[in-house]
Amino acid sequence: MYPFHFAQRVSRRLDIVCVGAHCDDIEIGCGATLLALQEQHSRLRVHWLVLTSTEERRREALRAVEAFVRPSARGEIHVHALHDGHLPAQFVQAKAHLEDLRRAVDPDLVFSHHGRDRHQDHALFAEMTWQTFRDHPIWEYEIPKYDGDLCTPNAYVPCSADVAKRKVECIMKSFGSQHGKSWLKTENLLAVMRLRGLECRAEGGFAEAFHCRKLVFTAAGPGKADRKNSRKDRR
């Protein structure tokens, strides 16, 4: 295993962008990773964008943000009210919301949906994320569901049993409206993290997994000129 970490960046604030099509996607996909990052980095700012919701679901989403992100780490928090299941027909509005966030934040890391997710909303949002954050590392998270579309990931974030349990407890407590869904079960969420923990030999037995399409490696690390020029190239 080859570790990736922010050890060289702890002297400045880290900006993390989390985007999800639905109100529980971010929490399911990268909730444990967010909890673990906050344990290790005091200067962390988490920015949150959800595209679809009802008034009830919006309240749940905001309650989940409070559970997963400490007050000092909260940045841009947006929960929009586009129609669940119909994002392809709402492309213009969805892209505008994402572009607004991009203008407000220059992130160190972006969490979004997996491009091969079979849910139409998830797949479209993954595509839009790559269109919008063209000069940023993007880690695509996974959502277990009926479609059976889980693939082999190439990035893992190990977590302790306590963090895994806390993630699931926060999800179950925050999203009461979804308790009737057969896929939203404590054992299901823990099972996926247990499997990913096995695959990466996580010391604590649990992990979240991601798909990283692109990595750019420089032996000396990025310099000031590289960062400045990359910003000029963004569009």
pLDDT digits (tens, 9 = 90+) for 175-189: 999 998 888 999 999
User: In the chain, pLDDT over 70 holds for what percent of residues?
Assistant: 89
The mean predicted confidence, pLDDT, of the chain is 90
Token digits of residue 37: 């990052």
Residue 229 confidence class, pLDDT cut points 50, 70, 90: very low
For the chain, domains (ranges, CATH) are 12-216 (3.40.50.10320)
pTM here is: 0.89
| CB contact set of 32 (below 8 Å; sequence gap of 6+) | 157, 159, 163, 164, 166, 167, 193, 206, 208
The confidence score (pLDDT) of residue 235 equals: 38
pLDDT digits (tens, 9 = 90+) for 17-69: 999 999 999 999 999 999 999 998 889 999 999 999 999 999 999 999 999 99
Q: Which of 5-14, 70-79, 85-94, 150-159 has the lowest mean pLDDT?
A: 5-14
